[in-house]
Amino acid sequence: MTNPNIFTVSRLNSEVRLLLENEMGIVWLVGEISNFSAPVSGHWYLTLKDSRAQVKCAMFRGNNRRVTFKPQNGNQVLVKARLSLYEPRGDYQLIIESMQPEGDGKLQQEFEKLKIDLASEGLFAQSSKQTLPEHPKCVGIITSKTGAALFDILDVLKRRDPSLPVVIYPTMVQGEEAAIQIAQAIGRANERNECDVLIVGRGGGSLEDLWCFNNEIVARTIKASQIPIISAIGHEIDVTIADFVADMRAPTPSAAAELVSRDNSHKEQIFASKRARLVSAIRHVLIKQVQSTQTLTYRLEKQHPSYQLQKQSQQLDDLDMRLRRGMTQYLKQHAQDIERKQHLLQLNSPVKRLGVQKLHLQRSEQKLLDAMDKTLLTTRHQLAMAAEKLETVSPLATLKRGYSITHSASSKTVSSINDVEVGEVITTQVEDGVIESQVTTRVAKSEL
């Protein structure tokens, strides 16, 4: 019987994956891209790192098609991702759902966080919003005194209801100090209590340009205002936190002026007011529905077959990259082996050995010739010395010094008077010839 407390590796990785996905949910992460790869499958694989740590990530084809820039190693990015685990390797990883450059991404992240926090406190609740006066007696405008938004509002009011009093509360609408100035202007309008409706607005711009209207101080000041406030910020597509908190949102500054002014079609004004309120309520409901849909979509994705397809696709990409690395390594080793064998072949080549032997033979031949020359020289020297010695003891040399050699008739060398007889013909050899003579007398040495 199997013990349920003993895990297999596969079961352990599966349980850990479910824990990570269910407990962590969606996370926002800032990091630097490295090891970026985009296989033919269309999926992206990368590593996000900072100065102290890193985490592996995957972004599947359906999500990365919405990325508006081409990621590269070294890019700083903000990603929205869910934490998961790649079971075959036991590596925990992030499944990225959206990616954007760090600068814009941080602002968007702060916007989403503040929107969620304020919504949870009830600052966006429709039930707490004030009703706009049906016939305003005085309109306050909080915007830049030199901006186009102010002139657009004044033009509409002059055309529709020129008798309507207007009070302008000038303020910065962009930059670091703008949020404080906007909050102070709203507070000043409430203290003076000279208007029964306020328009807070400016012209269009980027998320960074409109950022002062995403400030928590501005949002809470708008909520605390005793005077109903209409937000008229940017164009219709621009959305700020101030739009959610305000009692009414107008798509443009000119539209806000139309909401608070009267003309010959007073019923149209009432209709526009109610329509704006209805749009605001629908927007609020849609926001809640979107959040609910996102939650349900996330839960569905975890059970959807596409999740298995994504996992299998990632496994396929992983195997493909491992195969490519293996083939590259094999080819590299094979090339190195061939190069090594070629080197050994060159070292043992008969041509090279013949060359070595030929050189050795030439050296030996030269040594032999040198030895022969040396021996011949030595022999010549010895011969010369021997000849010199021989010449020293040669009879011919003695003859040159005046000596001679005498032979008897029997060719015997005469060395004594007893070797010849009187009357015997003897031969005397001198240096340049032979003398024949006849012995007439023999005289002993003692007789001389």
Sequential DSSP letters for 332-372: HHHHHHHHHHHHHHHHT-HHHHHHHHHHHHHHHHHHHHHHH
10-22 pLDDT tens trace? 887 777 777 777 7
Interhelix angle 266-303/253-260, rounded to 10 degrees, is: 130
Query: Residue 105 has what pLDDT?
Result: 58
Q: Contact at 8 Å (CB) between 141 and 153?
A: yes
d(CA 181, CA 172): 6
Question: For 220-230, how does the pLDDT look when each residue is reduced to its tens digit (9 = 90+)?
Answer: 999 999 999 99
R_g of the chain computed on alpha carbons:
60
Residue-level pLDDT at 46: 93
Q: Which one-letter amino acid corresponds to residue 60?
A: F
Q: Which is nearest to 174 in space by CA: 216, 219, 141, 204?
A: 204
> Measured between alpha carbons, how far is 122 from 118 in angstroms, rounded to an integer?
6
Residue 4 CB: number of other CB atoms within 10 A? 7
Residues in the chain: 448
Return the amino acid letter for 362. Answer: Q
State pLDDT tens for residues 304-332: 677 677 777 888 888 888 888 889 898 99
37 band by pLDDT with thresholds 50, 70 and 90? very high
Beta bridge partners of 84: 93
What are the DSSP E strand ranges found in 133-265?
139-143, 166-170, 197-202, 229-233, 248-249
Query: Which of 201, 263, 200, 254 has its CA nearest to residue 227?
Result: 200
Q: Give the mean pLDDT of 430-437.
A: 83
How high is the pLDDT of residue 226?
Answer: 95
**pLDDT tier, 280 (very low <50, low <70, confident <90, very high otherwise):** confident
Q: How far apart are CA 412 and CA 44, in angstroms?
A: 129
CA atoms of 126 and 247, how far apart (whole Å): 8
Q: Which residue has the higher pLDDT, 25 or 203?
A: 203
pLDDT of amino acid 130: 93
Amino acid at residue number 101: P
Residue 213's CB: how many other CB atoms inside 10 A?
28
Residues 118 and 214 sit within 8 Å (Cβ to Cβ):
no
Q: What is the pLDDT of residue 312?
A: 78
Burial-class residue 203 by CB neighbours within 10 Å (0-12, 13-18, 19+).
Answer: buried
pLDDT digits (tens, 9 = 90+) for 231-259: 999 887 778 899 999 999 998 999 999 98
Q: Rounded to an integer, what distance in angstroms lies between the CA atom of residue 47 and that of residue 45?
A: 7
Q: Are 149 and 192 in contact (CB under 8 A)?
A: no
Only one residue has tokens 């809640």, namely 288
- The C-alpha atoms of residue 48 and residue 55 are separated, in whole angstroms, by 5
CB-side neighbour CA atoms (13 Å) of 360? 6
Q: Most confidently modeled of 60-74, 264-278, 308-322?
A: 60-74
Determine whether 11 is exposed, middle or buried from the number of CB atoms within 10 Å of its CB (0-12, 13-18, 19+).
exposed
Q: Give Cα separations from 266 to 188, 258, 271 (angstroms).
A: 31, 11, 9
Cβ neighbours of 339 (radius 10 Å): 10
Contact 85, 20 (CB under 8 A): yes
Cα separation of 374 and 379, whole Å?
9
- What letter would DSSP give residue 7? P
